[in-house]
Chains A and B, each alone.
Chain A
């Protein structure tokens, strides 16, 4: 699609913009999610919205779909002001978003989902099921989509689900559709078909806002691009005039370049026996043949997009999931497959991906949360001696400078940063030889972030091997080297002193996307 009819000039076409945000700002607590953002999407355009995690994409989508009210600024559709937040139906007439998560009712059929609450009715207000089916089929066919409308939505593939969600938006009258990473879970052929479908819909006058991490894709399906960074629009224009290098540079920015630690010399030499070794670890459908070594006292980053398989590799090391093939060893000792206790005993500590889902038991005291990994060391025969638990917890609180009124306080009362420190304390409590950290500074403030990096640094200096699983540049900046995983395969390795743009480009898969090439 690149090079096809010149993209409409966004500035001139603003009057006819099907959707537009004007000087929108939005703040959550102390963090400014959007700052004075103005974006106009002209009718018939297909616009890419790109930016790294936390750049403000989701907030912008929420504002555009009426899920969030901006603190200041306006949203307009087709030149008219957006309806009030409560008028959901009016929003649905104007804009629809296909998220990565399903918004269909899984137990109802495709036809019923498409016509939910607007089913054709007969006398006495009874639903005419035949008409529901025919209507659904007619609509799908009208947009060039084919699907058995009688099947339950729970059984749909990701591709089919997207079709239904798009069709539902079209039935409701929306001609502006936001696609949020639609290809993240699709296979090559499905992606191809999705692109064809988008092109077809574009010709019939549907406008798209396309969010994707795969830059290769946006050059194929989009005409123009808006780049967000730190809640601001940092670049915008037709893709024909925006080479990939410029898009990546805009995403990373100057700050990203500056924050990079200047090539720290790895203090550790990889000994004959690495602290952590993965040999050909394969997880079906997720990651293939991953081999890596982390030496004692070394800090290695494993970087990749969401869905690249990096999280699962971490889970395999900590014993949360079983790899289908390959071996994992800590200090030369093989770990048993899918056995969290075993991994812990052999020296693996972990900070899991999602603090709330996997990190803390909210109602239990801080002390108990932190000592969970060492509960068997707090007294004889499994008895927990309160004084010993308290002392252990107190030591951790002091050493990690956790701010709490008492270690007996339920952990849910702590701030996010302190909760994260407590989860880190839990990982460190068993004095691990290997630390597997998933986004170790997720959702914490700057001060806690630095404190957490300090803790990691201390553990590292003490000879612990650290694997940081993340795609945040500032988290990767503390690593001696970074391995990049893309679609389940290790693709590149960067050693200290790397170039952020090259790293981001590798993470985003530029030059590695065999699907669309």
Chain B
């Protein structure tokens, strides 16, 4: 009996097959569902399996996917951030407002350089994250209600600043992230891909990334283990805010304007993607790869539903129903019944 563990611990790399479970079947539970959605999509419309359409799906998912990274960081640390979607709207709106000279169309009249405006966009995300962090980490207020209030506040501030006007006629540089192409693939897809790779590795191989898991899994133990829990949490909110601001910039670039409702209702899909992708709402559990499969599934579904010519008014209802089914499926195939 004692020889067996000793052998297993001898340091030999385990055979590939036995390592697979370590990679996490949970991360792959959505793959059959994605395949199914693709097959249905191909059956429904000839237009589905074309390079253009697939790139279209990826591009439309790219902003959501970046906010999902942000939310995943916060969820892994065992917290919550609803205000991310308002940052998606407010941050690029603020940048655009500073750029536009014409007060008549809702601008500030300042005429800020677009490079500085991008810095303002990211800074806005960081500031919102810092305030959230202060309220949640320092004042120990409940993350749900703090970020809900922040969401309402920022949404209102966005409307107030431009009196509900849509801002357009923005410099190309400001729109580049959502409109440019590298190797005939939209820049926003590249950006999302790079971010997934970077944050995926960060969460797996950097001690700050691992600290998020430790804090979400057992904050007290993490503290005893020498992790500066408050500082890491605070930093997480700031980074999440900046990612959301970046996603907002990508979205603005794609539609070449900032509408007052930009980002609205996005947070529901962010949570849906993260949770069906296996990120635990209780913290400390799940992987970015899983969250990515969640995003892809939602993106493909949205596209298929549109191509299938489901009456526009019913799309949301069908979408919601499918998310519920996906949740049940991921629970059944994921096998673990302990989390809520």
B203 vs chain A, min Cβ distance (A): 11
Give the residues in chain B near A406, CB-CB below 8 Å.
8-9, 14
CB pair A394 B206 closer than 8 Å:
no
A473 vs chain B, min Cβ distance (A): 26
Which residues 445-468 of A sit at the B interface, judged by CB distance below 8 A? none
A382 and B27 alpha carbons, distance in the complex (Å): 26
Give the residues in chain A near B284, CB-CB below 8 Å.
361, 363-364
A347 vs chain B, min Cβ distance (A): 12
A382 and B218 alpha carbons, distance in the complex (Å): 21
CB pair A384 B224 closer than 8 Å:
no
A51 vs chain B, min Cβ distance (A): 30
Q: Given A364-B214, A378-B207, is A397 in contact with B222 using a C-beta cutoff of 8 Å?
A: no
Which of B218, B226, B284, B285 is packed against the most chain A CB atoms within 10 Å? B226
The answer to whether the Cβ of A408 comes within 8 Å of any Cβ in the partner chain is yes
Give the residues in chain A near B14, CB-CB below 8 Å.
406
Segment at the B interface, from A109-117, A369-377, A502-510: A369-377
> A372's contact among B4, B205, B227, B285, by CB below 8 Å, is which?
B227
CB pair A383 B9 closer than 8 Å:
no
The answer to whether the Cβ of A357 comes within 8 Å of any Cβ in the partner chain is yes
> B11's contact among A357, A375, A390, by CB below 8 Å, is which?
A390
B283 vs chain A, min Cβ distance (A): 10
Q: Given A361-B217, A361-B218, is A372 in contact with B206 using a C-beta cutoff of 8 Å?
A: no
Size band of the A side of the interface? Answer: 35 or more
Give the residues in chain B near A390, CB-CB below 8 Å.
11
A406 and B221 alpha carbons, distance in the complex (Å): 22
A408 and B13 alpha carbons, distance in the complex (Å): 12
The answer to whether the Cβ of A407 comes within 8 Å of any Cβ in the partner chain is yes
A304 and B207 alpha carbons, distance in the complex (Å): 37
The answer to whether the Cβ of B181 comes within 8 Å of any Cβ in the partner chain is no
The answer to whether the Cβ of B311 comes within 8 Å of any Cβ in the partner chain is no
> B224's contact among A350, A363, A391, by CB below 8 Å, is which?
A350
A107 vs chain B, min Cβ distance (A): 16
> B285's contact among A363, A383, A385, A394, by CB below 8 Å, is which?
A363
Q: Who on chain A is nearest to B226 by CB?
A: A344
The answer to whether the Cβ of A340 comes within 8 Å of any Cβ in the partner chain is yes
Give the residues in chain A near B225, CB-CB below 8 Å.
372-373, 426
Size band of the B side of the interface? Answer: 20 to 34
A452 and B247 alpha carbons, distance in the complex (Å): 52
CB pair B9 A318 closer than 8 Å:
no
CB pair B205 A362 closer than 8 Å:
no
CB pair B9 A398 closer than 8 Å:
yes
Q: Given A341-B226, A405-B5, A426-B225, is A394 in contact with B11 using a C-beta cutoff of 8 Å?
A: yes
Give the residues in chain B near A357, CB-CB below 8 Å.
218, 220-221
The answer to whether the Cβ of B210 comes within 8 Å of any Cβ in the partner chain is yes
B58 vs chain A, min Cβ distance (A): 29
A376 and B225 alpha carbons, distance in the complex (Å): 12
CB pair B224 A340 closer than 8 Å:
yes
The answer to whether the Cβ of B22 comes within 8 Å of any Cβ in the partner chain is yes
CB pair A372 B8 closer than 8 Å:
no
The answer to whether the Cβ of A352 comes within 8 Å of any Cβ in the partner chain is yes
CB pair A360 B221 closer than 8 Å:
yes
Q: Who on chain A is nearest to B14 by CB?
A: A406
The answer to whether the Cβ of B138 comes within 8 Å of any Cβ in the partner chain is no
**Interface code A307-328, partner B: CB below 8 Å = 1, 0 otherwise?**
0000000000010100000000
A-B contacts, 25 of them at CB < 8 A, read: A320-B224, A340-B226, A358-B221, A358-B224, A359-B221, A359-B224, A360-B221, A361-B214, A361-B217, A361-B222, A364-B210, A368-B214, A372-B227, A382-B208, A383-B205, A384-B205, A384-B206, A384-B207, A386-B205, A390-B11, A397-B9, A398-B9, A403-B5, A404-B9, A408-B22
Sorted nearest first, the 4 A-B pairs with minimum C-beta distance are: A372-B225, A361-B217, A375-B207, A358-B220
